[in-house]
């Protein structure tokens, strides 16, 4: 399934300091002080001398992004402070999480085994919640100088935010295209980590709401490289279709008809690629990400996209009774919609398990397929069983999201065989 041009490989621009999502266990050292720790082979191991930075600080994680690395020692100092409020926030603390943006914002999450009132029975009382909120606001105020915009606690299936209500960060991204006029709120672009052949278009500056506790890409630089590669592929798809259409006497078009994105997350690909399509349909199961996608469409001026709250397999099953044309049955079918479906592009970014049978059947009916795989074995299985028979691999790229590990992401562009 390797295309004739070979596999394109994109290294992470950073081999350290790239992770924008981190979670650490909390342990106590021999002096009773709280320390960050990792789970290794079933054991909790405190960050130690091997992880020390140039100043000798052992409570650092070399792979954490700069905003997280800036917050880590300051937060630990506050949690170890003898002040009563900090002591209450740290009560029953079992883990700490960080969500950061390349723009410098950080949300801190505290996992507590018990509530602030010391009640082991489950949900905290209203008084306990109010007390926690006062303490969390004090902690937040002390951390604002290092970029913290929100403090969240999770305990016994309950989530509380400090009273400012912030449980998200705004991630900036630069992709090919033009900014939407009047969108002055767009965050300034982060440093572009590299071009992958997208000089055909000017730059478009986007920002994405990324929510604590929901999925987001932990390597923002590589996510941006991937987005630019997808733009380049969509340009190739359009050029190939216009070239074929010119031989049939058809008028060249400037956009592709329709993009369906399954497992769309917060809509980052849908937002990025929306100017290249007449319309965009995004599908996502997590209601938090559905809400984020809707907000990201609005903030970035996307008017031709809509998100559906549904598992991908359910969405697919409804539409694949007789293949993808099942959506087009009935007397009220708009011919333009029918043509868009048959000539549509589908983008899938499934979990490690890959595509289920119903979703795979739906995807196989599309003319163009963009498949983002976080597990190469699942991609190989889906190519071997179905997509390799119905489609031809035109381009394949490997993106190193986790430098120094065996994990990578592979993205393929497939075109339906004649």
Number of neighbours of residue 45 by Cβ within 10 angstroms: 12
131 assigned to active site: no
3-state DSSP assignment of residue 25: strand
Number of neighbours of residue 362 by Cβ within 10 angstroms: 27
Task: Give the closest residue to 1 by CA, choosing from 401, 399, 373.
Answer: 373
Angle between helices 126-143 and 66-79 (to 10 degrees): 120
22 assigned to active site: no
Cα distance between residue 418 and residue 415, in whole Å: 9
Cα distance between residue 148 and residue 166, in whole Å: 10
Cα distance between residue 312 and residue 314, in whole Å: 5
Residue 245's region, left for phi above 0, alpha for psi from -120 to 50, else beta, is alpha
Q: Are 99 and 20 in contact (CB under 8 A)?
A: yes
Cα distance between residue 411 and residue 225, in whole Å: 12
For 219-248, give the DSSP string. -HHHHHHHHHHHHHHHHHHHHHHHHHHHHT
Task: Return the bridge partners of 44, or none.
Answer: 39
For 256-310, give the DSSP string. EEEEEEES-TTSHHHHHHGGGEEEEEEEES-HHHHHHHHHHHHHTT--SEEEEES
Of all helices (H) and strands (E), which one includes residue 206? strand 203-211
3-state DSSP assignment of residue 45: strand
- Alpha helices, DSSP H only, in 8-118? 66-79, 84-89
From 171, 212, 284, 409, active-site residue: 409
Cα distance between residue 393 and residue 412, in whole Å: 7
- Residue-wise burial string across 184-193, b where 16 or more C-beta atoms lie within 10 A, e elsewhere: eebbebbebb
Cα distance between residue 182 and residue 287, in whole Å: 29
From 161, 324, 374, 408, active-site residue: 374
Question: Which residues are catalytic, by number?
Answer: 374, 409
């Amino acid at each position: 399934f390797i295309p004739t041009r070979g596999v394109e490989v994109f290294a992470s621009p950073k081999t350290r300091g790239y992770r924008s999502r981190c979670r650490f266990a909390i342990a106590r050292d021999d002096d009773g002080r709280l320390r960050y720790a990792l789970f290794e082979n079933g054991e909790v191991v405190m960050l130690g001398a091997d992880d020390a930075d140039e100043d000798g600080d052992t409570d650092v994680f070399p792979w954490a992004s700069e905003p997280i690395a800036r917050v880590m020692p300051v937060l630990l100092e506050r949690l170890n402070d003898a002040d009563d409020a900090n002591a209450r926030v740290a009560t029953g603390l079992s883990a700490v999480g960080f969500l950061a943006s390349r723009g410098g914002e950080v949300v801190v999450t505290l996992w507590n085994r018990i509530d602030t009132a010391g009640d082991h029975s489950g949900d905290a009382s209203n008084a306990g919640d109010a007390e926690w909120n006062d303490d969390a606001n004090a902690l937040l105020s002390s951390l604002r100088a290092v970029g913290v915009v929100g403090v969240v606690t999770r305990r016994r299936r309950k989530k509380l935010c400090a009273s400012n209500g912030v449980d998200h960060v705004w991630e900036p991204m630069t992709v090919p295209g033009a900014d939407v006029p009047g969108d002055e709120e767009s965050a300034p672009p982060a440093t572009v980590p590299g071009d992958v052949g997208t000089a055909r278009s000017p730059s478009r500056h986007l920002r994405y709401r990324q929510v604590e506790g929901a999925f987001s890409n932990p390597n923002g630089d590589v996510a941006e490289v991937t987005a630019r590669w997808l733009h380049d592929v969509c340009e190739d798809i359009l050029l190939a279709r216009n070239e074929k259409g010119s031989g049939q006497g058809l008028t060249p078009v400037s956009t592709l008809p329709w993009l369906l994105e399954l497992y769309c997350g917060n809509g980052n690909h849908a937002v990025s690629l929306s100017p290249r399509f007449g319309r965009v349909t995004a599908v996502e199961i997590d209601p938090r990400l559905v809400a984020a996608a809707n907000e990201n469409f609005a903030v970035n001026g996307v008017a031709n996209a809509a998100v559906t709250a549904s598992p991908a397999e359910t969405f697919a099953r409804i539409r694949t009774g007789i293949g993808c044309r099942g959506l087009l049955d009935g007397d009220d079918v708009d011919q333009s919609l029918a043509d868009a479906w048959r000539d549509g592009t589908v983008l899938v970014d499934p979990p490690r398990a890959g595509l289920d049978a119903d979703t795979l059947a739906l995807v196989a009916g599309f003319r163009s397929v963009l498949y983002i795989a976080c597990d190469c074995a699942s991609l190989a299985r889906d190519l071997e069983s179905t997509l390799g028979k119905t489609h031809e691999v035109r381009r394949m790229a490997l993106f190193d999201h986790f430098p120094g590990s065996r994990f990578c992401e592979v993205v393929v562009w497939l075109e339906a065989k004649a």
